[in-house]
Amino acid sequence: MELAQEKVPLSGAKLAVAIKAMETAGFLERLTVRIMKLAAAKGFYNPFNNEDVDLPGGKSAGDLAVDIIEKSLDGSYTWDEKKQPDFYWFCWSRAESILSNWLTKNRRMTTMSPMLEDGENGELDSNPVNTAADGGDIYEVLRFRNGGALGNQLLEDFALSLPDKSHEQAILMAVHDDRECIRRRHCREKLAVSEGDYDAAMKRIQRAAPKFLTEWCQKNNIKTEDRKEVR
């Protein structure tokens, strides 16, 4: 039987570095915004509802930031300051890892029944991944059902619904064909679109999205009850 590794809280020089970092103005807020950006780049924000975000454990970005800081300090996460001397970026890397693991697990899962895992103090605990608050039912269905095939179709349909040969259509097709194109610089360079044209096209995409998404769901008979099938 493998023994659980003992948690060693930060101390000495490492604790001093962490405290100094935490005392910099806006440390928590910066990490929170960084987590929001990270979550956005990984598709955690529901395009069907602007305010809905489904982070692991049903937490807000701010709560997740404090959890990470707390666990980094109490030794739940092992901070190797030789690999990452900056405490802030270490916390960021933990957020990156948490969000990536959540996505990977959800890709693998065909059922969402709660899994029990060894928690702290050796007690069985339900995995936060399985107890995550649902973000948007439709988004969840489209994201994970049939390996996301429905969602793939949605992006293509959205692109084709936009004016032919427009920048906005070109951007969506580029994102469809090349995952790197979610990065604006990469996308602009690939399409040879100026910053101004890109921003204007993105505004048009953002304006067109809500109506298109509603109509697309109606046309394809996607209902919130479908989420039960996912579970």
Partner 1 sequence: MNDKKPIELTKLERLAALLRDDGIDPETMNADQLAQYLKVYKVDMSDPQKRFASVLKKSKARQSLEFAHERRQKAVDKSKAILSAGADAVEAVKEKVRVMIKNLGQHDPDQAQVYAREFEKATPEDLAVLEEDLTLLEMEASENDKGDSQNPR
Site residues (vs partner 1, CB under 8 A): 9-12, 15-16, 18-19, 22-23, 25-26, 28-30, 32-34, 36-37, 40-47, 51, 60-63, 65-66, 69-70, 73, 89, 92, 100, 103, 139, 142-143, 147-148, 150-152, 154-156, 158, 171-172, 175-176, 179-184, 202, 205-206, 209
Instruction: Pick between residue 124 and residue 155 the one whose CB is nearest to partner 1.
Output: 155
Q: Which residues contact 201 (CB under 8 A, 6 or more apart)?
A: 166, 167, 168, 170, 171, 193
Instruction: Pick between residue 58 and residue 148 the one whose CB is nearest to partner 1.
Output: 148
Neighbours of 189 (CB within 10 A): 11
Angle between helix 184-191 and helix 195-219 axes, rounded to 10 deg:
100
Instruction: Pick between residue 46 and residue 130 the one whose CB is nearest to partner 1.
Output: 46
- CB 200, min distance to partner 1, A: 13
Neighbours of 148 (CB within 10 A): 15
Side chain identity at 14, as an amino acid letter?
K
Residue 117: φ, ψ to 5°:
-130, 160
Instruction: Pick between residue 116 and residue 183 the one whose CB is nearest to partner 1.
Output: 183
